[in-house]
Chain A
Amino acid sequence: MNSIVKAEELSCFYGVVLGLNNVSFEIPAGITGLVGPNGAGKSTLIKLVTGQLAPSSGRLSVFGEKPRNNPKLLSRIGYCPEREQLPKDLRPIDWLRSLASISGVSWKETKTMAEAALDRSRLDRAHWKKRIGTYSKGMKQRVKLAQAIMHDPDLVILDEPMNGLDPMGRAEFGEILKELNQHGKSILVSSHILHELEFLCSGFVMLNWGRVLASGSQIEIRETVVEWSDEISIRCSDANGLAAHLQNQGLIRGFLAEGDELTVWVNEPEAFFKNWPNLFKGCDADVFEVRNKNQALSSIFERMTQ
């Protein structure tokens, strides 16, 4: 695997407080979700990757280099912190120009760079002349994203970027991230909004209590789940017909049909899920989707953290 971030036996402690405890994982190119409840170690990991913290032990490399005290590497990383606090008296364009200058961009270029970033983060130009303190949460998130992508970094790290966004805003934010990914940028996004990351991310690192519970693609993580729920949801054209078909084969011990949604309780969950295409043969109903309750990322994570 051509990894962008590689951690080997990585630990980080704040005095006696545990941040990350002996974790090893690799993050490939693409959009990767960093998932975990509060205190799981997500922000610690992000601070390590952005060089804000030094590892207590173990090794961490980003693009093959150590991130701590490495300005050259930092120029390839864009970071959007979780905190909402922004300089309220500044206009976004002025703030972005200052940050670009701090990064070493010549003053003449900062304006073009800042404007392009605000356009890419889809902040309406009508708001550019207002001071950031007057902005809504959604607008602030866009400004935060703009400062992270302004310098065209190879890796964009976003700590809980969906916080405070309404569903439409989240969807649009997701689109921006996908667009960035299509332009060859890798993205590491942390969130506790799992179901949204499920559709956004190609891979995940699941954290809890400073440890990695699972990492890899959605399929790889699902394969680590050994226990299958006996509750399976099937979306089909004839729920009652399909239920009767499965019952006649003695595969289910109960069912609930609601419109095109059929929920069945199967006798042997794993065997059922692995062979379901054959089991539906001989039934006239069209099957559109089969879901095991435990196969949702959120369900997997819930079980792992129990």
Chain B
Amino acid sequence: MSGANGEKAAFGAVKGMLYMRIQELTTTAALVRFAIIAASTFGLLLLVGFNESEARERFQGLLVGAFALKFLPIFCLTKGGETLRGELKDGTIEYLWVRPASKVELYLGFFLSGFLGTMWIVGPALIGISAAGVVLGVIGVGGLLTVWVVSVCVVASFTALSGAIGAFSSKFVVLGIFYYSFVELGLASIPNGVQKLAVSYHAENLLRGVTFGAQGFEVGHLLWIAGIGAVALGLGAAIFSQSHYVVGSEKEA
């Protein structure tokens, strides 16, 4: 199958899968959910920080300690593999497998639509956090930019990790939590370079003191996050290309 000129359109699989995901995410229910998450995050942070002399510290603690280092890893590691596994379980992946597209391209499409799906939850939460931070006057433009860039990279990296785990096993949720406990909590606390294998370590360094606007932005940490994500993405694509999956079942062939 190809276009009128007989040539296959570039990145067609990625475009097609993203279009599908955008359609799913723009249903009324999905948009309402988006608004609720944004509003409730904003309201919650406003309540926590309102009329408090230590608003800045509390905001920093919530943003980094709770949101960036706990919510994001756990949510993304348990959600990222869902796109591929959901299609396998429903059997809708059969419609993709019989198309003249490479498995690597399909996997890239799964990753990007998984990333988009995760951002559709994380995004409104970030909007709420940002709005609350501005209203409370505890974060500046530079800080907000850092928060957004780091969060998007962290989401992409953890989604790639979860995707690779999902390509390997249907028990991606359990394995994702195990990964979080072992690598993100365990390795991150080991000094002498080992901690660099944990995305959380880099995220924590990038977001440290973000509400105070004092720290410099270390690109090296961002590259580490991107690198870990890229390795996970490559690994996931390799596993997906080489595996035989039993459609409609949670077991691998």
Contact = CB atoms under 8 A, between A and B. Distances in A.
Contacts of B20: 87, 90, 94-95, 98
A269 interface: no
Contacts of A38: none
Given A81-B94, A83-B91, A103 B23 contact: no
Contact of A85 (B3, B90, B106): B90
B95 A147 contact: yes
Contact of A104 (B2, B98, B253): B2
A103 B1 CA distance: 6
B100 A103 contact: yes
B142 interface: no
Contacts of B13: 101-102
Interface string A164-207: 00000000000000000000000000000000000000000000
Contacts of B8: 104
B100 A89 contact: no
Contact of B12 (A50, A77, A105): A105
A81 B5 CA distance: 29
Contacts of A151: 1
A51 interface: yes
B1 A100 contact: yes
A86 B92 CA distance: 6
A105 B23 contact: no
Interface string B5-43: 100110011011101100110010000000000000000
Interface stretch (A2-10, A68-76, A122-130, A226-234): A68-76
B214 interface: no
A90 B92 CA distance: 13
A52 B98 contact: yes
A104 B95 contact: no
| Dominant secondary structure of chain A at its interface with chain B | loop
B9 A107 contact: yes
A94 B19 contact: yes
Contact of B98 (A51, A72, A85): A51
B96 interface: yes
B23 A89 contact: yes
Nearest to B91: A83
A58 to B, nearest CB: 18
A79 B94 contact: yes
B212 interface: no
B100 A74 contact: yes
B61 interface: no
Nearest to B90: A85
A75 B16 contact: no
A99 B99 contact: yes
Contacts of A98: 16-17, 19-20, 23
Contacts of A52: 94, 97-98
Given A87-B24, A90-B23, A99 B3 contact: no
B4 interface: yes
A105 B24 contact: no
A97 interface: yes
A106 B90 contact: no
A91 interface: yes
B109 interface: yes
A14 interface: yes
Contacts of A107: 9, 15
B102 interface: yes
B197 interface: no
Contacts of A75: 1-2, 100
Contact of A103 (B19, B91, B99, B244): B99
Given A72-B100, A74-B98, A77-B98, A102 B16 contact: yes
Contacts of B100: 71-72, 74-75, 103-104
B113 to A, nearest CB: 10
Contacts of B90: 83, 85
B238 interface: no
A109 interface: yes
A89 B94 CA distance: 18
B92 A102 contact: no
A105 B15 contact: no
B140 interface: no
A128 B244 CA distance: 35
B248 interface: yes
A122 B46 CA distance: 55
Given A87-B20, A95-B20, A98-B19, A104 B3 contact: yes
Interface of A: 14-15, 50-54, 71-72, 74-75, 77, 79, 81, 83, 85-87, 89-91, 94-95, 97-107, 109, 131, 147, 151
5 contacts: A52-B98, A98-B17, A101-B16, A104-B2, A106-B3
Please name the 7 residue pairs, one residue from A and one from B, whose CB atoms are nearest each other, closest first: A101-B16, A104-B8, A71-B100, A102-B16, A103-B1, A83-B91, A106-B3
Given A85-B90, A105-B12, 5 more contacts: A74-B100, A83-B92, A104-B100, A104-B101, A105-B2
